Structure 1
Amino acid sequence: MDTEVDSAGVGAELRRWRRSRRISQLELAALAGTTQRHLSFIESGRSRPGRAIVVRLAESLGLSLRERNDLLMAAGYAPVFTESTLDEAALRPVREALEEILHGHLPYPALVIAPYGRVVAVNDAVEVFTEGAAPELLTPEVNMLRLMLHPEGMGRRVANLAQWGRHVVENLRARARRSPDPRLDEFVAELAGYLPEAPVSGDHLGFSVPMRLATADGELRLITTLTSFATATDVTLAELRLEAFLPADQATADALRRRAERKGYRRV
Protein backbone atom coordinates (compact mmCIF):
# COMPACT_ATOMS: atom_id res chain seq x y z
CA MET A 1 0.00 0.00 0.00
CA ASP A 2 1.40 3.39 -0.99
CA THR A 3 2.11 5.90 1.74
CA GLU A 4 0.43 9.29 1.33
CA VAL A 5 2.93 12.14 0.89
CA ASP A 6 2.46 15.90 0.69
CA SER A 7 0.72 16.46 -2.66
CA ALA A 8 1.42 20.19 -2.36
CA GLY A 9 5.12 19.39 -2.71
CA VAL A 10 6.87 17.67 -5.58
CA GLY A 11 3.67 16.25 -7.09
CA ALA A 12 2.02 19.63 -7.44
CA GLU A 13 5.24 21.12 -8.82
CA LEU A 14 5.60 18.36 -11.40
CA ARG A 15 2.00 18.81 -12.48
CA ARG A 16 2.48 22.59 -12.77
CA TRP A 17 5.62 22.25 -14.88
CA ARG A 18 4.12 19.53 -17.06
CA ARG A 19 1.06 21.62 -17.81
CA SER A 20 3.11 24.74 -18.51
CA ARG A 21 5.10 22.67 -21.04
CA ARG A 22 1.85 21.24 -22.49
CA ILE A 23 3.12 17.69 -22.08
CA SER A 24 0.81 14.79 -21.19
CA GLN A 25 1.59 12.35 -18.41
CA LEU A 26 2.16 9.66 -21.00
CA GLU A 27 4.64 11.80 -22.97
CA LEU A 28 6.58 12.87 -19.87
CA ALA A 29 6.69 9.33 -18.50
CA ALA A 30 8.12 8.07 -21.80
CA LEU A 31 10.76 10.81 -21.88
CA ALA A 32 11.80 10.10 -18.28
CA GLY A 33 11.84 6.32 -18.65
CA THR A 34 9.00 5.57 -16.24
CA THR A 35 5.33 4.62 -16.48
CA GLN A 36 2.30 6.88 -16.70
CA ARG A 37 0.87 5.12 -13.63
CA HIS A 38 3.99 5.89 -11.57
CA LEU A 39 3.97 9.53 -12.69
CA SER A 40 0.26 9.79 -11.88
CA PHE A 41 0.91 8.47 -8.37
CA ILE A 42 3.73 11.00 -7.88
CA GLU A 43 1.59 13.93 -9.05
CA SER A 44 -1.35 12.91 -6.88
CA GLY A 45 0.83 12.48 -3.80
CA ARG A 46 0.24 8.71 -3.55
CA SER A 47 3.91 7.89 -4.12
CA ARG A 48 7.13 9.56 -2.99
CA PRO A 49 9.60 9.64 -5.92
CA GLY A 50 13.21 8.60 -5.59
CA ARG A 51 15.95 11.11 -6.23
CA ALA A 52 16.92 9.58 -9.58
CA ILE A 53 13.43 9.81 -11.05
CA VAL A 54 13.09 13.44 -9.90
CA VAL A 55 16.33 14.25 -11.73
CA ARG A 56 15.13 12.47 -14.88
CA LEU A 57 11.76 14.20 -14.80
CA ALA A 58 13.40 17.61 -14.36
CA GLU A 59 15.72 16.95 -17.31
CA SER A 60 12.83 15.72 -19.45
CA LEU A 61 10.87 18.89 -18.68
CA GLY A 62 13.86 21.00 -19.77
CA LEU A 63 14.05 22.83 -16.45
CA SER A 64 16.90 25.23 -15.73
CA LEU A 65 19.49 24.23 -13.14
CA ARG A 66 17.85 26.47 -10.56
CA GLU A 67 14.45 24.94 -11.28
CA ARG A 68 15.90 21.43 -11.05
CA ASN A 69 17.32 22.23 -7.63
CA ASP A 70 13.94 23.60 -6.55
CA LEU A 71 12.18 20.44 -7.69
CA LEU A 72 14.64 18.25 -5.80
CA MET A 73 14.11 20.28 -2.63
CA ALA A 74 10.32 20.00 -3.07
CA ALA A 75 10.84 16.23 -3.07
CA GLY A 76 12.93 16.41 0.10
CA TYR A 77 16.37 16.02 -1.50
CA ALA A 78 19.45 18.22 -1.44
CA PRO A 79 20.18 20.34 -4.53
CA VAL A 80 22.51 18.80 -7.12
CA PHE A 81 23.86 21.97 -8.73
CA THR A 82 26.03 24.47 -6.89
CA GLU A 83 25.39 28.20 -6.99
CA SER A 84 28.65 30.12 -6.79
CA THR A 85 29.28 33.84 -6.75
CA LEU A 86 31.36 35.27 -9.56
CA ASP A 87 34.12 36.36 -7.19
CA GLU A 88 34.70 32.80 -5.94
CA ALA A 89 37.96 31.08 -6.90
CA ALA A 90 36.07 28.27 -8.66
CA LEU A 91 34.77 30.69 -11.29
CA ARG A 92 38.04 32.57 -11.79
CA PRO A 93 38.78 30.84 -15.14
CA VAL A 94 35.31 31.83 -16.31
CA ARG A 95 35.77 35.46 -15.29
CA GLU A 96 39.10 35.63 -17.09
CA ALA A 97 37.65 34.03 -20.23
CA LEU A 98 34.73 36.44 -20.24
CA GLU A 99 37.05 39.43 -19.88
CA GLU A 100 39.08 38.23 -22.87
CA ILE A 101 35.93 37.79 -24.95
CA LEU A 102 34.61 41.22 -24.00
CA HIS A 103 37.85 43.03 -24.78
CA GLY A 104 38.43 40.94 -27.88
CA HIS A 105 35.07 42.11 -29.25
CA LEU A 106 36.22 45.74 -29.34
CA PRO A 107 35.58 48.12 -31.03
CA TYR A 108 32.04 46.73 -30.85
CA PRO A 109 29.92 46.73 -27.65
CA ALA A 110 29.58 43.55 -25.60
CA LEU A 111 28.38 42.80 -22.09
CA VAL A 112 27.54 39.95 -19.75
CA ILE A 113 24.12 40.04 -18.13
CA ALA A 114 22.50 38.04 -15.35
CA PRO A 115 18.74 37.32 -15.05
CA TYR A 116 16.36 40.27 -15.43
CA GLY A 117 19.03 42.26 -17.32
CA ARG A 118 21.48 42.91 -14.47
CA VAL A 119 24.87 43.91 -15.87
CA VAL A 120 27.79 41.76 -14.69
CA ALA A 121 30.61 42.95 -16.96
CA VAL A 122 31.06 45.16 -20.03
CA ASN A 123 33.72 46.27 -22.46
CA ASP A 124 34.65 49.91 -23.07
CA ALA A 125 32.47 50.22 -26.18
CA VAL A 126 29.28 49.85 -24.13
CA GLU A 127 29.60 53.54 -23.27
CA VAL A 128 27.88 54.21 -26.61
CA PHE A 129 24.72 52.91 -24.91
CA THR A 130 25.04 55.05 -21.78
CA GLU A 131 25.53 58.29 -23.72
CA GLY A 132 23.07 60.88 -22.33
CA ALA A 133 21.25 58.41 -20.06
CA ALA A 134 19.65 59.61 -16.83
CA PRO A 135 22.00 59.08 -13.84
CA GLU A 136 19.48 56.92 -11.99
CA LEU A 137 19.63 54.36 -14.80
CA LEU A 138 23.40 54.11 -14.45
CA THR A 139 23.68 53.53 -10.71
CA PRO A 140 24.80 50.05 -9.62
CA GLU A 141 23.44 47.57 -10.31
CA VAL A 142 22.70 48.69 -13.88
CA ASN A 143 19.82 46.92 -15.62
CA MET A 144 20.69 46.84 -19.31
CA LEU A 145 17.23 45.91 -20.56
CA ARG A 146 15.67 48.81 -18.71
CA LEU A 147 18.44 51.15 -19.93
CA MET A 148 17.85 50.07 -23.54
CA LEU A 149 14.11 50.73 -23.59
CA HIS A 150 13.58 53.47 -21.00
CA PRO A 151 12.74 56.91 -22.45
CA GLU A 152 15.43 58.45 -20.21
CA GLY A 153 17.95 55.86 -21.36
CA MET A 154 18.55 54.58 -24.88
CA GLY A 155 14.85 54.56 -25.72
CA ARG A 156 14.79 58.14 -26.94
CA ARG A 157 17.78 57.47 -29.22
CA VAL A 158 16.53 54.27 -30.88
CA ALA A 159 14.86 55.34 -34.12
CA ASN A 160 13.00 52.03 -34.52
CA LEU A 161 12.22 51.49 -30.83
CA ALA A 162 8.77 50.04 -31.51
CA GLN A 163 10.05 47.29 -33.80
CA TRP A 164 13.37 46.56 -32.13
CA GLY A 165 12.05 46.83 -28.58
CA ARG A 166 9.19 44.49 -29.39
CA HIS A 167 11.69 41.71 -30.11
CA VAL A 168 13.38 42.30 -26.73
CA VAL A 169 10.04 42.13 -24.93
CA GLU A 170 8.78 39.11 -26.89
CA ASN A 171 11.94 37.15 -26.05
CA LEU A 172 11.32 37.84 -22.37
CA ARG A 173 7.65 36.87 -22.71
CA ALA A 174 8.67 33.57 -24.27
CA ARG A 175 11.01 32.96 -21.32
CA ALA A 176 8.21 33.81 -18.88
CA ARG A 177 5.88 31.35 -20.61
CA ARG A 178 8.52 28.64 -20.40
CA SER A 179 9.44 29.38 -16.79
CA PRO A 180 6.51 31.15 -15.08
CA ASP A 181 7.81 33.86 -12.76
CA PRO A 182 5.66 36.71 -11.33
CA ARG A 183 8.74 38.94 -11.00
CA LEU A 184 9.56 38.46 -14.68
CA ASP A 185 5.94 39.12 -15.63
CA GLU A 186 6.10 42.46 -13.82
CA PHE A 187 9.38 43.35 -15.50
CA VAL A 188 8.02 42.48 -18.95
CA ALA A 189 4.96 44.66 -18.31
CA GLU A 190 7.23 47.54 -17.28
CA LEU A 191 9.39 47.27 -20.40
CA ALA A 192 6.39 46.90 -22.70
CA GLY A 193 5.04 50.13 -21.26
CA TYR A 194 8.05 52.03 -22.67
CA LEU A 195 7.31 50.97 -26.26
CA PRO A 196 5.16 52.85 -28.76
CA GLU A 197 2.84 50.88 -31.01
CA ALA A 198 4.76 49.11 -33.74
CA PRO A 199 3.70 50.03 -37.29
CA VAL A 200 4.03 47.49 -40.09
CA SER A 201 7.59 47.85 -41.33
CA GLY A 202 10.14 46.11 -43.49
CA ASP A 203 13.03 47.58 -41.49
CA HIS A 204 15.02 44.38 -41.13
CA LEU A 205 17.91 42.56 -42.75
CA GLY A 206 15.96 39.44 -43.63
CA PHE A 207 17.38 37.58 -40.64
CA SER A 208 17.48 40.22 -37.90
CA VAL A 209 15.97 43.52 -36.80
CA PRO A 210 18.87 45.96 -36.37
CA MET A 211 18.84 48.60 -33.66
CA ARG A 212 19.10 52.07 -35.20
CA LEU A 213 20.84 54.08 -32.51
CA ALA A 214 21.46 57.82 -32.72
CA THR A 215 24.89 58.79 -31.34
CA ALA A 216 27.37 61.67 -31.48
CA ASP A 217 28.97 59.76 -34.36
CA GLY A 218 25.75 59.50 -36.35
CA GLU A 219 23.22 56.69 -36.57
CA LEU A 220 24.57 53.21 -35.84
CA ARG A 221 22.85 50.04 -37.05
CA LEU A 222 23.60 47.14 -34.71
CA ILE A 223 22.50 43.50 -34.56
CA THR A 224 22.66 41.37 -31.43
CA THR A 225 24.06 37.93 -30.71
CA LEU A 226 23.40 36.04 -27.48
CA THR A 227 25.66 33.33 -26.06
CA SER A 228 25.02 31.12 -23.03
CA PHE A 229 26.95 28.39 -21.23
CA ALA A 230 25.01 25.41 -22.56
CA THR A 231 26.94 22.79 -20.55
CA ALA A 232 27.24 24.74 -17.28
CA THR A 233 26.69 22.81 -14.05
CA ASP A 234 26.78 25.89 -11.80
CA VAL A 235 23.51 27.81 -11.41
CA THR A 236 25.15 31.24 -11.57
CA LEU A 237 27.10 30.41 -14.71
CA ALA A 238 24.10 28.79 -16.42
CA GLU A 239 22.08 31.98 -15.96
CA LEU A 240 24.65 34.33 -17.52
CA ARG A 241 24.25 35.61 -21.07
CA LEU A 242 26.93 37.20 -23.23
CA GLU A 243 25.30 39.84 -25.43
CA ALA A 244 27.55 41.00 -28.26
CA PHE A 245 26.60 43.67 -30.79
CA LEU A 246 27.82 43.64 -34.39
CA PRO A 247 27.64 46.32 -37.09
CA ALA A 248 24.82 45.77 -39.58
CA ASP A 249 26.62 47.78 -42.26
CA GLN A 250 30.07 49.09 -43.16
CA ALA A 251 29.25 52.64 -42.11
CA THR A 252 28.54 51.45 -38.56
CA ALA A 253 31.71 49.38 -38.45
CA ASP A 254 33.79 52.37 -39.58
CA ALA A 255 32.11 54.72 -37.09
CA LEU A 256 32.74 52.35 -34.17
CA ARG A 257 36.40 51.94 -35.15
CA ARG A 258 36.88 55.71 -35.31
CA ARG A 259 35.11 56.10 -31.98
CA ALA A 260 37.38 53.48 -30.40
CA GLU A 261 40.50 55.23 -31.68
CA ARG A 262 39.29 58.61 -30.48
CA LYS A 263 38.36 57.40 -27.01
CA GLY A 264 41.30 55.04 -26.60
CA TYR A 265 39.46 51.80 -25.92
CA ARG A 266 41.71 49.12 -24.46
CA ARG A 267 41.90 45.89 -26.43
CA VAL A 268 43.78 42.86 -25.17
Structure 2
Amino acid sequence: MPSTAVLSPPAPPLGVGPLLRRWRDQRRLSQMELALEAAVSTRHLSFVETGRSKPSRDMVVRLAEHLEVPLRERNELLLAAGYAPAYAESSFEDEEMSQVRDAVKRLLAAHEPYPAVAVDRRWELLDGNAGVALITAGAAAHLLEPPVNALRLSLHPEGMAPRIANLPEWRAHILGRLRREVAATQDAQLRALLAELEGYPGGEEDEGVPKPGEIVVPLRMRHEAGELSFMSTITTFGTPLDITVAELSIEAFFPADDHTRAVLRAA
Protein backbone atom coordinates (compact mmCIF):
# COMPACT_ATOMS: atom_id res chain seq x y z
CA MET A 1 0.00 0.00 0.00
CA PRO A 2 1.29 3.52 -0.75
CA SER A 3 2.45 5.43 2.27
CA THR A 4 0.39 8.35 3.41
CA ALA A 5 2.18 11.49 4.49
CA VAL A 6 1.18 12.76 7.89
CA LEU A 7 0.87 16.52 7.95
CA SER A 8 1.79 18.33 11.12
CA PRO A 9 -0.98 20.54 12.48
CA PRO A 10 -0.39 24.27 12.01
CA ALA A 11 1.32 26.02 14.88
CA PRO A 12 -1.14 27.78 17.17
CA PRO A 13 -1.12 31.58 16.92
CA LEU A 14 1.07 33.36 19.43
CA GLY A 15 -0.62 35.03 22.38
CA VAL A 16 -0.19 38.71 23.10
CA GLY A 17 2.59 38.07 25.64
CA PRO A 18 4.99 36.26 23.29
CA LEU A 19 4.17 38.76 20.53
CA LEU A 20 5.05 41.69 22.78
CA ARG A 21 8.27 39.97 23.82
CA ARG A 22 9.17 39.38 20.17
CA TRP A 23 8.69 43.07 19.42
CA ARG A 24 10.71 44.02 22.50
CA ASP A 25 13.54 41.72 21.42
CA GLN A 26 13.50 43.23 17.93
CA ARG A 27 13.77 46.72 19.43
CA ARG A 28 16.62 45.43 21.64
CA LEU A 29 15.02 46.65 24.84
CA SER A 30 15.24 44.93 28.20
CA GLN A 31 12.09 44.43 30.27
CA MET A 32 13.32 47.13 32.63
CA GLU A 33 13.91 49.63 29.81
CA LEU A 34 10.46 49.08 28.31
CA ALA A 35 8.81 49.15 31.74
CA LEU A 36 10.43 52.51 32.52
CA GLU A 37 9.45 53.99 29.16
CA ALA A 38 5.84 52.78 29.41
CA ALA A 39 5.51 53.61 33.15
CA VAL A 40 4.60 50.05 34.21
CA SER A 41 6.26 47.76 36.71
CA THR A 42 8.85 45.30 35.47
CA ARG A 43 7.02 42.56 37.37
CA HIS A 44 3.72 43.27 35.62
CA LEU A 45 5.42 43.39 32.21
CA SER A 46 7.07 40.04 32.95
CA PHE A 47 3.68 38.55 33.88
CA VAL A 48 2.16 39.90 30.64
CA GLU A 49 4.93 38.43 28.49
CA THR A 50 4.68 35.01 30.14
CA GLY A 51 0.88 34.93 29.99
CA ARG A 52 0.39 35.03 33.76
CA SER A 53 -1.43 38.35 33.48
CA LYS A 54 -3.81 39.61 30.81
CA PRO A 55 -3.03 43.21 29.81
CA SER A 56 -5.79 45.77 29.50
CA ARG A 57 -6.59 47.27 26.12
CA ASP A 58 -4.90 50.52 27.13
CA MET A 59 -1.81 48.61 28.24
CA VAL A 60 -1.51 46.85 24.87
CA VAL A 61 -1.80 50.15 23.02
CA ARG A 62 0.70 51.85 25.36
CA LEU A 63 3.30 49.12 25.02
CA ALA A 64 2.83 49.02 21.23
CA GLU A 65 3.39 52.78 21.03
CA HIS A 66 6.63 52.61 23.01
CA LEU A 67 7.79 49.65 20.92
CA GLU A 68 6.97 51.64 17.73
CA VAL A 69 4.84 48.78 16.42
CA PRO A 70 3.21 49.67 13.06
CA LEU A 71 -0.57 50.20 13.15
CA ARG A 72 -1.37 46.98 11.30
CA GLU A 73 0.62 44.95 13.81
CA ARG A 74 -0.94 46.88 16.72
CA ASN A 75 -4.29 45.52 15.59
CA GLU A 76 -2.80 42.03 15.63
CA LEU A 77 -1.62 42.55 19.22
CA LEU A 78 -5.10 43.71 20.26
CA LEU A 79 -6.73 40.71 18.61
CA ALA A 80 -4.25 38.37 20.30
CA ALA A 81 -5.23 39.93 23.64
CA GLY A 82 -8.94 39.42 22.91
CA TYR A 83 -9.81 43.01 22.00
CA ALA A 84 -11.26 44.59 18.87
CA PRO A 85 -8.82 46.30 16.48
CA ALA A 86 -8.30 50.01 17.11
CA TYR A 87 -7.20 51.15 13.66
CA ALA A 88 -9.31 51.08 10.50
CA GLU A 89 -7.97 50.10 7.09
CA SER A 90 -9.42 51.81 4.03
CA SER A 91 -8.85 51.25 0.35
CA PHE A 92 -6.90 54.06 -1.30
CA GLU A 93 -9.87 54.42 -3.68
CA ASP A 94 -12.51 54.74 -0.93
CA GLU A 95 -14.58 57.92 -0.76
CA GLU A 96 -13.28 58.77 2.72
CA MET A 97 -9.76 58.78 1.29
CA SER A 98 -10.54 61.54 -1.21
CA GLN A 99 -8.73 64.22 0.81
CA VAL A 100 -5.67 62.00 1.14
CA ARG A 101 -5.70 61.25 -2.61
CA ASP A 102 -6.02 64.96 -3.35
CA ALA A 103 -3.10 65.78 -1.05
CA VAL A 104 -0.98 63.10 -2.73
CA LYS A 105 -1.82 64.35 -6.23
CA ARG A 106 -0.96 67.92 -5.24
CA LEU A 107 2.38 66.84 -3.80
CA LEU A 108 3.22 64.81 -6.90
CA ALA A 109 2.17 67.56 -9.31
CA ALA A 110 4.06 70.24 -7.37
CA HIS A 111 7.25 68.19 -7.76
CA GLU A 112 7.14 68.17 -11.56
CA PRO A 113 9.15 68.13 -13.76
CA TYR A 114 11.08 65.91 -11.34
CA PRO A 115 9.86 62.31 -10.80
CA ALA A 116 7.82 61.33 -7.73
CA VAL A 117 5.73 58.28 -6.84
CA ALA A 118 3.28 57.32 -4.09
CA VAL A 119 3.56 53.72 -2.88
CA ASP A 120 1.98 51.48 -0.26
CA ARG A 121 3.76 49.41 2.39
CA ARG A 122 4.76 46.76 -0.15
CA TRP A 123 6.09 49.34 -2.61
CA GLU A 124 3.18 48.94 -5.01
CA LEU A 125 2.55 52.07 -7.04
CA LEU A 126 -0.54 54.08 -6.06
CA ASP A 127 0.14 57.18 -8.13
CA GLY A 128 2.94 58.95 -9.96
CA ASN A 129 3.58 62.23 -11.75
CA ALA A 130 4.59 62.98 -15.34
CA GLY A 131 8.31 62.90 -14.49
CA VAL A 132 8.21 59.17 -13.74
CA ALA A 133 8.08 58.32 -17.46
CA LEU A 134 11.62 59.63 -17.90
CA ILE A 135 13.21 57.18 -15.47
CA THR A 136 11.03 54.19 -16.42
CA ALA A 137 11.45 54.54 -20.19
CA GLY A 138 12.48 51.27 -21.82
CA ALA A 139 11.10 49.02 -19.07
CA ALA A 140 9.27 45.87 -20.20
CA ALA A 141 5.50 46.27 -20.53
CA HIS A 142 4.73 43.47 -18.06
CA LEU A 143 6.55 45.38 -15.31
CA LEU A 144 4.36 48.43 -15.94
CA GLU A 145 1.05 46.57 -15.68
CA PRO A 146 -0.85 47.13 -12.40
CA PRO A 147 -0.04 46.41 -9.70
CA VAL A 148 3.37 47.93 -10.41
CA ASN A 149 5.97 47.24 -7.74
CA ALA A 150 8.43 50.14 -7.65
CA LEU A 151 11.34 48.11 -6.26
CA ARG A 152 10.86 45.25 -8.72
CA LEU A 153 10.66 47.77 -11.56
CA SER A 154 13.88 49.39 -10.34
CA LEU A 155 16.05 46.24 -10.06
CA HIS A 156 14.51 43.81 -12.58
CA PRO A 157 16.85 43.07 -15.52
CA GLU A 158 13.99 44.02 -17.87
CA GLY A 159 13.12 47.11 -15.87
CA MET A 160 15.19 50.18 -15.03
CA ALA A 161 18.33 48.20 -14.09
CA PRO A 162 20.01 48.25 -17.55
CA ARG A 163 19.87 52.06 -17.51
CA ILE A 164 21.15 52.52 -13.95
CA ALA A 165 24.81 53.50 -14.24
CA ASN A 166 25.59 52.71 -10.57
CA LEU A 167 23.44 49.58 -10.32
CA PRO A 168 25.52 47.79 -7.61
CA GLU A 169 25.41 50.85 -5.36
CA TRP A 170 21.70 51.53 -5.97
CA ARG A 171 20.87 47.83 -5.56
CA ALA A 172 22.65 47.74 -2.18
CA HIS A 173 20.68 50.81 -1.09
CA ILE A 174 17.34 49.27 -2.13
CA LEU A 175 18.05 45.89 -0.54
CA GLY A 176 19.33 47.47 2.68
CA ARG A 177 16.20 49.57 3.03
CA LEU A 178 13.96 46.58 2.31
CA ARG A 179 15.81 44.41 4.87
CA ARG A 180 15.17 47.06 7.53
CA GLU A 181 11.48 47.14 6.64
CA VAL A 182 11.23 43.36 6.83
CA ALA A 183 12.86 43.44 10.27
CA ALA A 184 10.53 46.22 11.43
CA THR A 185 7.26 44.72 10.16
CA GLN A 186 7.90 40.95 9.87
CA ASP A 187 5.74 41.12 6.73
CA ALA A 188 5.81 37.81 4.81
CA GLN A 189 5.17 39.45 1.43
CA LEU A 190 7.99 41.94 1.94
CA ARG A 191 10.25 39.04 2.89
CA ALA A 192 9.28 37.24 -0.34
CA LEU A 193 9.94 40.42 -2.34
CA LEU A 194 13.36 40.75 -0.70
CA ALA A 195 14.25 37.17 -1.65
CA GLU A 196 13.16 37.85 -5.23
CA LEU A 197 15.18 41.06 -5.55
CA GLU A 198 18.26 39.47 -3.99
CA GLY A 199 18.17 36.95 -6.84
CA TYR A 200 18.39 39.60 -9.55
CA PRO A 201 21.80 40.27 -11.13
CA GLY A 202 23.69 43.48 -10.50
CA GLY A 203 25.71 42.91 -7.36
CA GLU A 204 29.48 43.22 -7.35
CA GLU A 205 32.28 42.87 -4.80
CA ASP A 206 32.30 46.59 -4.06
CA GLU A 207 28.51 46.70 -3.76
CA GLY A 208 27.36 49.39 -1.38
CA VAL A 209 30.75 51.05 -0.97
CA PRO A 210 30.15 54.82 -1.32
CA LYS A 211 32.17 56.78 -3.82
CA PRO A 212 34.62 59.40 -2.44
CA GLY A 213 32.91 62.70 -1.65
CA GLU A 214 29.31 61.38 -1.90
CA ILE A 215 26.90 62.44 0.86
CA VAL A 216 23.84 60.49 -0.36
CA VAL A 217 23.33 57.41 -2.54
CA PRO A 218 22.47 58.81 -5.97
CA LEU A 219 20.35 57.20 -8.68
CA ARG A 220 22.40 57.65 -11.85
CA MET A 221 20.45 56.97 -15.04
CA ARG A 222 21.83 56.64 -18.56
CA HIS A 223 20.00 59.00 -20.92
CA GLU A 224 20.38 60.15 -24.51
CA ALA A 225 21.15 63.65 -23.21
CA GLY A 226 23.88 62.31 -20.94
CA GLU A 227 23.89 60.70 -17.52
CA LEU A 228 21.22 61.98 -15.12
CA SER A 229 21.80 61.96 -11.36
CA PHE A 230 19.07 62.04 -8.69
CA MET A 231 18.84 62.01 -4.93
CA SER A 232 15.58 60.98 -3.26
CA THR A 233 13.50 61.76 -0.18
CA ILE A 234 10.69 59.80 1.50
CA THR A 235 7.59 61.62 2.81
CA THR A 236 4.94 60.09 5.07
CA PHE A 237 1.80 61.38 6.79
CA GLY A 238 2.61 62.65 10.26
CA THR A 239 -0.49 61.72 12.30
CA PRO A 240 -2.15 58.70 10.69
CA LEU A 241 -4.94 56.74 12.40
CA ASP A 242 -5.83 54.66 9.34
CA ILE A 243 -3.54 51.78 8.36
CA THR A 244 -3.58 52.68 4.65
CA VAL A 245 -2.53 56.26 5.39
CA ALA A 246 0.15 55.11 7.84
CA GLU A 247 1.63 52.79 5.22
CA LEU A 248 1.56 55.31 2.37
CA SER A 249 4.77 57.08 1.40
CA ILE A 250 5.93 59.41 -1.36
CA GLU A 251 9.39 59.05 -2.85
CA ALA A 252 10.47 62.22 -4.61
CA PHE A 253 13.57 62.45 -6.79
CA PHE A 254 15.55 65.68 -6.97
CA PRO A 255 18.27 66.54 -9.52
CA ALA A 256 21.69 66.00 -7.99
CA ASP A 257 23.48 68.25 -10.48
CA ASP A 258 22.84 71.17 -12.82
CA HIS A 259 22.90 68.99 -15.95
CA THR A 260 20.05 66.80 -14.67
CA ARG A 261 18.05 69.86 -13.64
CA ALA A 262 18.43 71.41 -17.08
CA VAL A 263 17.48 68.21 -18.96
CA LEU A 264 14.30 67.69 -16.91
CA ARG A 265 13.21 71.29 -17.19
CA ALA A 266 13.77 71.24 -20.95
CA ALA A 267 11.77 68.01 -21.27
Fold similarity call, TM over 0.5: yes
Identify the match of residue 77 of structure 2 among 39, 63, 71: 71
**How far 1:190 moved relative to its partner?**
1.6
Determine if contact 1:229/1:238 at 8 Å carries over to the other structure.
yes
CA offset digits 1:229-264 (Å, max 9, x no partner):
1211110001011000000001000101111xxxxx
Q: Secondary structure at the match of 2:222?
A: strand
Cα 1:189–1:171 shift into 2, 3 Å: same
State the partner residue of 1:265. Answer: none
**1:214 and 2:222 matched:** yes
Identify the match of residue 125 of structure 1 among 131, 137, 148: 131
State the partner residue of 1:35. Answer: 41
**1:175 and 2:175 matched:** no
Separation in 2 of the partners of 1:247 and 1:204? 19
Separation in 1 of the partners of 2:210 and 2:175? 19
Aligned-CA RMSD value:
1.7
CA offset digits 1:2-29 (Å, max 9, x no partner):
xxxx994111111111111111111111
State the partner residue of 1:266. Answer: none
Q: Is 12-21 or 140-149 further displaced after alignment?
A: 12-21
The one-letter amino acid paired with 1:79 is P
Determine if contact 2:169/2:210 at 8 Å carries over to the other structure.
no
Determine if contact 1:204/1:210 at 8 Å carries over to the other structure.
no
Separation in 2 of the partners of 1:190 and 1:212? 23
Q: TM-score, normalised by structure 1?
A: 0.90
Runs of 5+ consecutive residues of structure 2 not aligned to the other structure: 1-11
Q: TM-score, normalised by structure 2?
A: 0.90
Between the two proteins, what is the percent identity of the paired residues?
46
Identify the match of residue 262 of structure 2 among 239, 254, 265: 254
**How far 1:129 moved relative to its partner?**
2.4
**How far 1:66 moved relative to its partner?**
0.8
**1:147 and 2:134 matched:** no
State the partner residue of 1:100. Answer: 106
**How far 1:182 moved relative to its partner?**
3.1
The count of aligned residue pairs is 254
Q: Secondary structure at the match of 1:215?
A: coil
State the partner residue of 2:204. Answer: 197
Identify the match of residue 233 of structure 1 among 236, 241, 249: 241
State the partner residue of 1:21. Answer: 27
Separation in 1 of the partners of 2:99 and 2:106? 11
